Amino acid sequence: MQAAERVLKTSGVGTGSARLISGTTQWHTELEAKLARFFGRERALVFSSGYLANLGALSALSRSGDLIILDKLCHASLIDAAHLAGATVRVYPHLNLDYLEKILKAAEGKKTFIVTDSVFSMDGDLAPLPELVALKNRYGAYLVIDEAHGTGVFGKTGRGVSEHFGVFNEIDVHIGTLSKSVGSFGGFVTGKSELVDYLINHARTFIFETSLPAPICAAAIEGLNLIEHEPKLREQLWSNVKRLREELKKIGAPILPSESPIIPVVFGDEKRTIQAAEFLLGHGFLIPAVRYPTVPKGKARLRITVSANHSSIEIDRLTQAFKQLLSHAD
């Protein structure tokens, strides 16, 4: 906040222009340089949101005649991007690599993109990136991942799930957001210089969109600094995740076996889920009900998102609130 406030006083709020006109400030340039250094890439390109980064990158890189293959639970922005590109779109059942390989075999000779979230936002599980890397190498495909929920959370240095699995350098197109662990706003793509140059000239959501406010860029730089220089925050996050997950299991909460700070509590029935959200709000916890069409019918849930700032007292209070909630259901 202090970083944003300092820039706000000198640069104001909006830039009033797209990046290629007069909307690039020193803060946009510094943020892109910071992202490139943080991820160990040649270049980075900042978009005005994570949604626009997905839309712009995928639609620019593929075209009619190409093939885009998506996991069924990919984020809506990736699905929209695939259809916007005009390429052939195929969807494989969630994490079903045998089905994915059948599609790849049938498509040999086509320019093919395997597209996935690294952390699936509604289930909290991880994409099997080592296996996806093996498949993309076997069939000559490109692997595009959205690290929206992985950046800052996974990996020794916080680079994401690809770092966690040791396949960071095998990812062809790395997309992320600045609105989750970074604590600001915006999206980005990192990669080789040729990739970034191509996107600058072909990604319509970059070319024709007003650029991020400079204070937002300054806040993002500071957020990346915290991720880079305060690893204890990541350690505290995982300690909190482990504690809450264990406590919820003890009381029999219907949680999914996620591998991330996203802990879904699945009630199934929408009315019951809404009532649960209202009950928890009355006890001081904002955990909105997630329903169709965000999740399939019959899979309504509460999605708990744990942070490093949550205290042991708050975790215990939430556990007790769930205990009361579940006892009322009985």
- CA 48/CA 213 separation, integer angstroms: 9
The single residue of 75, 174, 180, 299 carrying the catalytic annotation is 180
Does residue 180 carry a catalytic annotation? yes
Which residues are within 8 A (CB) of 37 and not within 5 positions of it... i.e. 6 or more apart? none
Does residue 121 carry a catalytic annotation? yes
8 A C-beta contact, residue 222 and residue 291: no
Integer angstrom CA distances of residue 320 from 244, 280, 285, 323, 330: 11, 10, 12, 5, 15
Does residue 149 carry a catalytic annotation? yes
The single residue of 34, 149, 164, 299 carrying the catalytic annotation is 149
Q: Which two tokens stand for residue 275?
A: 């009532």
- CA 15/CA 139 separation, integer angstroms: 44
Strand partners, 144: 115, 173
Are β-strands 289-290 and 300-305 bridged in parallel, bridged antiparallel, or unpaired?
antiparallel
The single residue of 48, 59, 62, 121 carrying the catalytic annotation is 121
Integer angstrom CA distances of residue 229 from 68, 92, 158, 166, 241: 37, 39, 10, 21, 21
Where in the sequence numbering do the catalytic residues fall? 121, 149, 180
